[in-house]
Amino acid sequence: MQQEGWWSYEFCYQNRLRQIHVEEDKVVQEFVLGVYDEEATAAFNQNLSDISSLKDPRSKDASQRYHAHQYTNGTQCDLTNQPRETEVRFVCSEPRAMISSITELSTCKYALTIQSPMLCKHP
């Protein structure tokens, strides 16, 4: 779980991503930012000629590669009347797994970056 101001973010691998507000250990407000979508993830990765060519535009290291999963069908957005969705980006980073950033790319469409040492073992 990662806290940024009012909101905390709960990421469950290949399950869902939630944006929650907690008061006194109780969730008082919640938005699902997406549920893991295996088909969309496969289609996204298949459309890339080389998955290793993906770059994280906010990375200080321009060569920083990431692997992406698609999370779709989240809580309906009241501004677009569409379900929220998120691209979860996994990047190599030591020493432990953690959420490093979340960005709203456009209304109710997000990019979540997760640092993970497990990715560092892959070329």
For the full predicted model, state whether its pTM sits above 0.85. Answer: no
In one letter, which amino acid is 98? M
Residues 105-122: tens digit of each pLDDT: 999 999 999 998 887 876
Rounded to whole angstroms, how far apart are CA atoms 66 and 64?
7
Decide if pLDDT at 64 tops 70: no
Q: What is the pLDDT of residue 11?
A: 94
CB 34 within 8 A of CB 86: yes
- Range 66-82 average pLDDT: 95
Domain 37-119 class, CATH top level:
mainly beta
Q: Where are the domains of the chain?
A: 37-119
